[in-house]
Structure 1
Amino acid sequence: MNIMKLAWKFFVSKKSRAFFSILGVALGVMLLVISQILILTVERSNEYTLREKYGNYDMLVGYQTDKHHLTEDDITFINQIPGVKNSTPLLYPYIGEKMKIPEIAALPMYVGFKNDPLAKEHPFLNIDKGTFPKGNEVILPIRYLKSNHLEIGSEIELPFPPGNKQKVVISGTLKQNEKLENIAVFDYDWLSKVTSNKGKATVLMLKLEDGPSKEKINQMIKSKYPDIFIDNRTEMEKERENIGGLKPFVHTILISALAGSFLIVVSTLQMAILERKRELATLRLIGIKRYQLTLMVIFESMVIGLIGSTVGILLGIVLSFLSQRVVEQLMGFSLVGIVIPWKSLSLCAVSGIVITVLAGIIPGYLASKLPPIVAYKQNEPSLDKYSFLVRWLSPILLIASIAVSIFNYLYTKGPEWIYLLTGLGFLLSMFMGIPVILYLTVKLISFISKPFFGSEALLAGRNALRQMRKNIQIAGILMLAFVIGLTGYLLFSSIAIQAEKDIKTRYPMDYKLQATDSSLEPGFSKNLEEQMKQIEGISSISIPTALFGLTLNLDQNHIKNWNGQLFNINGKKQVHISLRAININEVTKFHSIKVLEGTIDQRALRNDGVIITKDLKKLGFQLGDYIQIGRYDEVMKGKNAGHRFKIVGIIDKMPVLPSDEYTAYTDQENLGKYFKINTIEQIQYNISNPSLSSVIQKKIDNLLNHPDFSNVILYDRQKELLTLHRQVQQRLFILLATVILTIFLGIIGLMNNMASSLRERSREFAVLRALGSRPNQVVRLALLEGVIISLAGGLIGIISGLVFGYHVLAGLEAKEYLFPWQIVLIELIISPLIGLAAAFIPSIWISRMNLIKTLYQE
């Protein structure tokens, strides 16, 4: 007997069921294809953005202190390491302690580059106008030129300790960028000569071959130079590998799509076996062997996989081209064009076929185990016939997971990975226990709906239980969709809420004007503050320039509480702190200040008083003590003993300056009187009248274009929030696509199940019609059955998703927890709608069947 030919006949005889199976496989393969095409396309496009943002090099090797440097022999050794393709040296002549040289501290940081292609990949060499500097030439930031009334071609005198000052010509400007505001670029050879660093390099930029791993190169460099600093550019690598954080979520789609396709094929082939029990029994009676029955089912699944994979690849390629604009909008940059990875697509096709064949092994094995006599019985296996794994292991694992999780939370306070482990255990127990949970849930829903639908609710529930084996896979698919949806939403929401709080903490108000001088005490004229006050619709706070100071009376017993740098002043250790003027009355209009001790009265500050943060208190300062503060450069030169201020208050932190930890706050008059500081470092403001927003921003832009304010840059908190919201939107879009796809697979499977189930019970429905039931009653009964099945699967998914989601948050040490009542409500509404959508067409078919013909069928 030709098994393959027989399998083909069985396949062709049930075209509708075969269509659903092929569609399920095609959707899974289609998602595989789309993901492979779009990931490669986005990676190619993202590479251009990364090169512009980070530069096209792989490693930085060198030192962050002036105590060590790379010699020519060191450079030669590193260049000879296998895998190093090219290198170029960088020189930072004033780094570490040398940065504190007074004549250098107020100037942009000197950096020396060689004039070669690799050096030009460094972000610091982002030249706007002009040419690469030669000897006695320099490239400076645009704002530095504007604030000093210079231009390209101007001559400027700069210090080069330990040597004398040198006159250099400005050969170009750097592009306007916050990171380049404090950089001065010189020719490497010339700079090393005038700073007495001939034959020395601070850092070496490396470009690696494609083959060798960074880890091996790291080990070789570290073994030779244990104290060397290596920047593996992990930020760039992470962004490249994850494509801006989207790659893991794309993989989630693939896993869910493949899992859904797998369950669809298993469900379909199981239904085929149940419907062909008599035919299979007859084949057994005429001598066909068990393994031949298994091969027949596997061959049928292979045909489904082959056709589905082919259709999926074609659909995936077409949809990839059609979705290009959507991807561009989500990613925020233009794609270089759709790239088709043919090798990966071949693997996708093979994967689709292999997974489908694997899905056919279970029904094939069940078919071979089917005794010929039992095959003529049409009853579904009862609940008590399910395996030990379902009846006992599932509840044991469920109870153990919950117990361990609660015990860890209340008593042991163990590592966070325990929550991830117990969450996975809970999810696995729910999945294994679907037969039992589905049985109990269907019973409960039937009982609750009885007052609304009468005996039809009980009858629909019994029909659903009769088809238990067919409905288990469908419940699993819906559970998968809802778990992904709830867990993903909980995770994204928690991260987004915390990130938004961090941004609002970093930027207490909507906008900030910040001085960008390279000096230790940057500032701009109060004239800008006065002109800002004349703009209608603005609420602002001015933050005067802070004193870059040193303590002069630090309690030596509390030095151990300081993790920063210590300065030896007159034989005693002192620390750097800031002394900043603040208008408490203005601050409290916008933010409350948490006072730990004393007062924050402005009059007390004006009378040589200061308030300190709780961090300064750790250095031994108490309420009522005097803190003596001097200007850094004057103290280092021994010119000034500073001034004493009385501590009148201790606060948690200053809300408008959350990052100022070791800071003392006084009145503006004191800074002007004792330290001659009368400039503004930043202005924070809100636009109180949104209708005037565009007009206000235009006025501010005009102010900033004035040469007097060339050292001021505008920060927009809204832009930061928009970037965050765009990232969240990208991930939610991926999440939504995953959930919709999985639900669609569930609808296909449930529709197939309902069609098969109603076909088996066609004579029962015919009897109902013969006894006087109207067609709409038959339709209502079939629809109610579909609703009960989908609602049961949805409830299981909601419970599993909530519990698993909270375990994931706990395992990731999330700071924000919320109950996603909107998502739960949506899923509760969607669950019965899925059943209605899946059962609608089969129910219409059964209501229009030929009554006489059906009753006379054997």
Structure 2
Amino acid sequence: MLKATLKGLLARKTRLVLAGLAVVLGVTAVSAAMVTTATIGDGFETIFATTTSEVDVSVSAEPNGGAATFAPPVPASVVDELRGVRGAESVAGVVSADGARPVGPDGKVISVQGPPRLGVAWAGETGMARLREGRGPTAPDEVAINAGLAELGGFRVGGTIDVLTLEPRQTFRVVGVYGYSNGLGTLGGSTEVAFTEPVAQRLMLGAPDVYSSVTLTAADGVSPEALRDEVTRLLGDGFAVRTGDELAAQTASDGRAFLDIVRIVLLAFSGLSLLVGIFLILNTFSILVAQRTGELALVAALGARRRQIVGSVLVEAVLVGVLASAVGVGLGIAVSTGLKSVMEAQSGAQLPVGLVVPMPDLLVAFGVGVLVTLVAALVPAVRASRVPPVAAMRASAAEQRSLTGITVAGAVPATIGVAGIAAAVAGWAGDLEFVALGGGVALALIGLALLTPLASRVLLPAVGRLLSWSTPGKLGRLNAARNPRRTAITVATLVVTLGLVGGVGVVAESLRVDVSTAVATDLQADLVISGDGVSARAGGQTGGPPTAADGRVMPAFEESVIDRARDLDGVALATAQYVDTVEIDGAAPGPSPANAGDLSRLAPVLGLDPGLPDLGRNEVVLDTETLAEQGLSVGGTVRLSTPRGGWQEYRIVASYEPNFLLRGPVLSPETAKERFVSALPALGYVELEPGADVAGVKAAVSDLVADNPEVTVADQTQLAADSAGRLDLAEIMLYVLLGLSVVIGILGIINTMALSIMERTRELGLLRAIGMRRSHMVHMVVAESLVMSVFGGLLGLTFGGLAGAAFVSVAGLAELAVPWLSLAVFLGLAVAAGLLAALAPSARAARVNVLAAIAYE
């Protein structure tokens, strides 16, 4: 039996290639995700371990908030105190913070994708730093830069470099270029600008006589652990004291946490591809079993047992799964090599490790590929074992079976899913509305896939009539409808993938409209002065502004810009808004976006209550949502922790309704200058007088910030478009991740059409014998493929659109926006998929030998 199975497999090897391709693509995606994240993780662990290799103990301040959003600087007095600790050979204060943004020769800020842009205090050739040219800075207007930055910007010793920090743009003379003891010119792609210590403290930490951290080296005979314990006893609470190894491990752990999220996302979409691949494999083996009805029945008549017949089909599946999974793992490693090179080229981060191949993870990916193939082949295998011996006498392949069972099986999850969606939309699910919505969509999608055979019986004739007018077209339509189960499994891949794509499109378009509406409604100013992305994040729409909370400094400008804007002809009002992140100590403690400004001027441009009072030093205004969430009330007090001010108690003097550009605590400008990361405004609003020349005033305001390459002036239309456009990248990434599943869906149609042509060889010969031309054969096959692809595309996009509409309702977006053009493009892709799938099968059908086909069994 095994020999017969192997010979049969070799005879059908071409037919199994496309089924194997589905496994190859899925396993490739899984393997690439595992290898890439492992390589990046190990690379950054090596970097962190190297940078802390000469640090025995590190001391930094404990974060101000329980959520560890930011840590205040360490006072210089702590360094003096630690100089007397027992067991320490040396003690040094360190200034190193992200936010030194160098300006390139083109006048634009040099951008690196991911790695930090560090501003540090030059401490000489200590640690890993090694001068390659020149010397270290000694004067306030001198800097040294790392070789990575020198290469990116074309900077040379003796030239100048402009740098933006917590203060506006300043020009420095480059007196040195340095690299690192490992031979690299950058650590992980980061750029570094080294100032003198007082300048670094002022520009990077916002205050003199403070440090980011303190490093200690242990004397001979003293272990890092013993020195750590001694420092802990000396300093007491309020400081994080770690050995160099502990610091490296924690830093790497933070990076690993982010990589784990990326890994989960990639594996989720890879798993979706494998899930879609199950439909393809299931369909392939179903057709192959149907084509071998006579063969299997004859084997049964000769005495083969049911388990042998099941085993013969599963042996084929195992061999296909093993070969395809092995190829997939190999391709995954190759793809990871390319991804590593692309990432290093884009970010400038040269990872100090080669490709890391996690064998246990890859064995899991290999096993998953084989298991998926086995699971998909199991149902056809069991079905094959039930073929009665008398079937060997029949010429037909397989009889049609009732759709009652599969219809009932699909109706149950579909009904539960629709009920969950309805509960979420109607508000019956309470706080679990998104859980009910997500679960309902998943169950409804499963139910729809199972109900597709019934839907194909009802809808395929209607779709077919739209696409077939001639006799060959009608034959193609009838061929598509003759086996509802097969058609359903074939188009299920398109239903699932285009359902997800359609849902993403509707949600993204609705979010764009919501953002544009919010900007138009909330903003009364005619012009906005801001850096890239500031306005979209000021209200906390993406988790708060990029300040010390996530290692990025908010682009800002000089306060004098607002004063000068007020004096321009045609300007009725100009005001500034300061933006940062704070910690709130309340019923739901955690980070929150925070703002500051003159409320008497901010209120009219942001649509706030004009009766809001001017704020004193320790007074705050809170939005109504924060008040309710934190269990606070006007007249009471709240504890807030600011990056440079630590925990302070503030009196709540008023409240306001939050909007797109303002939410969270609002403090006085004086408080912001003293306690925020940056003492400069991040946003400026300009309101014009009636009849003023908008273009002329905009040009005049732009001239005021011409020396700041991070800040631009936009009108309302530009601001709304910019804010809404930030969704484009996320949408494109989702489409790319879903693209693999779409490719597998196209393969499914190609495979079904190819196997179907083989199955109908005799039928095709008879059609040719009675006078059908080759062009008619091509027309018939193309019509059949188009009917299936358009049917699957319409079903998937309709479901996706309805699911997206449900999300829009539950999320409370301004309005439902349907991207008709995008949906039409997706449907066009389904049509293109149908045409592509019909190319090879239609050519085969047209070339069929009439006499050989009539005699074909």
TM-score bracket for this pair, using the shorter chain length: 0.5 to 0.7
1:437 corresponds to which letter in structure 2? A
What residue identity is the alignment partner of 1:443?
A: P
Which residue, out of 4, 7, 10, partners 1:6?
A: 4
- Equivalence for 1:129: 122
Structural mapping, 1:109-258, within 5 Å: 112-113=78-79, 114=82, 127-130=120-123, 172-173=197-198, 175=200, 180-182=205-207, 184-185=209-210, 200-206=236-242, 240-243=256-259, 246-258=262-274
Partner of 2:417: 401
Match of residue 477 from structure 1: 493
- Code of the aligned partner of 1:510: I
CA contact (8 A) 1:37 1:338 kept: no
- Show CA shifts across 1:153-178 (max 9, x none): xxxxxxxxxxxxxxxxx982364797
CA contact (8 A) 2:518 2:660 kept: no
The corresponding residue for 1:509 is 528
Q: Does the CA-based 8 Å contact 1:541-1:683 persist in structure 2? A: no
Match of 1:101 in 2: none
Cα shift at 1:480: 2.3
Tell me the distance in 2 between the aligned counterparts of 1:537 and 1:766. Answer: 83
Q: 1:292 maps to which residue?
A: 308
2:382 counterpart residue number: 365
Q: Is the 8 A contact 1:250 1:734 kept in 2?
A: no
Q: Which residue does 1:684 correspond to in 2?
A: 684
- The answer to whether residue 278 in structure 2 is matched with residue 271 in structure 1 is no
Give the C-alpha shift of residue 745 in structure 1: 1.6
Q: Shift of the alpha carbon at 1:846?
A: 0.8
**Counterparts of 1:29 and 1:299, CA distance in 2:** 20
Q: How far off is 1:807 after superposition?
A: 4.9
Matches of 1:144 and 1:804 in 2, distance apart? 45
Residues 503 and 275 from structure 1, CA distance in 2 versus in 1: closer, same or farther, beyond 3 angstroms?
A: same
CA distance change for structure 1 residues 538 and 305 in 2, over 3 Å: closer, same or farther?
A: farther
Residue 852 of structure 1: CA displacement? 3.0
Change (3 A) 1:458 1:662: same
User: Does the 8 Å CA contact 1:394/1:429 hold for their aligned counterparts?
Assistant: yes
1:90 touches 1:112 (CA, 8 Å); kept in 2?
no
The answer on whether the counterparts of 1:294 and 1:368 sit within 8 Å (CA) in structure 2 is: yes
String of CA shifts for 1:162-205, please: whole Å, max 9, x gaps. xxxxxxxx982364797621463279899xxxxxx975442234
1:281 to 297, 316, 323: 297
Contact (CA 8 Å) 2:702, 2:712: kept in 1 or not? no
In 2, Cα distance between the equivalents of 1:48 and 1:499?
42
Farther off after superposition, 120-129 or 818-827: 120-129
What is the deviation of 1:350? 3.0
Cα separation, partners in 2 of 1:489 and 1:533, compared to 1, 3 Å? same
Could you tell me which of 8, 23, 26 is aligned with 1:25?
A: 23
| 1:496–1:432 Cα change, 3 Å | same
AA of the residue aligned to 1:372 = P
Alignment of 1:292-311 (within 5 A): 292-311=308-327
- Where in structure 2 are there 5+ consecutive unaligned residues? 66-72, 99-118, 127-137, 142-164, 170-194, 217-232, 535-546, 548-555, 580-585, 590-594, 615-620, 637-652, 671-678, 687-693
Letter in structure 1 aligned against 2:37: I
Shift of 1:18: 2.3
Is contact 2:577–2:597 with CA below 8 Å preserved after alignment? no
In structure 1, stretches of 5+ residues that fail to align are: 58-84, 97-106, 134-138, 148-169, 191-196, 215-231, 517-522, 547-560, 565-576, 606-611, 622-646, 666-678, 703-713
Give the 3-state SS of the residue equivalent to 1:700 in structure 2: coil
Q: Residues 294 and 198 from structure 1, CA distance in 2 versus in 1: closer, same or farther, beyond 3 angstroms? A: closer
Aligned to 1:345: 362
Q: Secondary structure at the match of 2:198?
A: strand
* Secondary structure of 1:370 counterpart: coil
The TM-score, its normalising length taken from structure 2, stands at 0.63
Change in 2 beyond 3 A, CA 1:430/1:336:
farther
Match of 1:82 in 2: none
Change (3 A) 1:185 1:88: same
Equivalent residue letter for 1:7: T
Question: Letter of the aligned partner of 2:829 in structure 1?
Answer: I
Q: Is the CA contact (8 Å cut-off) linking 1:545 and 1:580 kept in structure 2? A: no
| Change in CA separation of 1:697 and 1:438 when aligned onto 2, cut-off 3 Å | farther
Alpha carbons of structure 1 residues 128 and 447: separation in structure 2 relative to 1, 3 Å: same
Judge conservation of contact 2:789–2:833 (CA < 8 Å) in 1: yes
Residues 510-534 of structure 1: CA deviation (Å, up to 9, x unaligned): 32799x9xxxxxx999866676789
Residue 541 of structure 1 corresponds to which residue in structure 2? 574
Aligned length: 663
**What secondary structure is seen at the aligned counterpart in 2 of 1:509?**
strand
- Counterparts of 2:43 and 2:437, CA distance in 1: 38
1:273-672 matches, cutoff 5 A = 273-328=289-344, 339-343=355-359, 344-374=361-391, 376=394, 378=396, 380-382=398-400, 385-386=402-403, 388=405, 390-407=406-423, 409-410=425-426, 412=428, 414=430, 415-416=432-433, 417-449=435-467, 453-489=469-505, 509-511=528-530, 541-543=574-576, 580=598, 591=605, 593=607, 619=634, 661=666
Identical-residue share of aligned pairs (%): 17
CA distance in 2, matches of 1:732, 1:579: 34
Query: Aligned partners of 2:558, 2:748: CA distance in 1, in Å?
Result: 71
Report 1:831-842 matches (<5 A). Answer: 831-842=830-841
User: Does the residue aligned with 1:112 lie in a helix, a strand or coil?
Assistant: helix
Whole-Å separation in 2 of the counterparts to 1:247 and 1:724: 28
**2:559–2:576 CA contact under 8 A, matched in 1:** no
Q: CA deviation at 1:857?
A: 3.8
Q: How does 1:739-778 map to 2 (within 5 A)?
A: 739-778=738-777
> Structure 1 residues 209 and 425 mapped into 2: Cα distance closer, same or farther (>3 Å)?
farther
Give deviations 1:524-579, integer Å, cap 9, x for gaps. Answer: 99866676789999999244999xxxxxxxxxxxxxx9999xxxxxxxxxxxx999
The one-letter amino acid of 1:462's match is L
1:251-290, Cα deviation, whole Å (9 max, x unpaired): 2331122123332222222222111111111111111111
Contact 2:577 2:596 in 1 (8 A): no
Letter of the aligned partner of 2:240 in structure 1?
L
Tell me the amino acid that sits aligned with residue 112 of structure 1: V
Deviation at residue 10 of structure 1 after TM alignment = 0.7
Question: How far, CA to CA, are the matches of 1:353 and 1:497 in structure 2?
Answer: 45
Q: Distance in 1 between matches of 2:512 and 2:4?
A: 57
Which AA in structure 2 matches 1:373? V
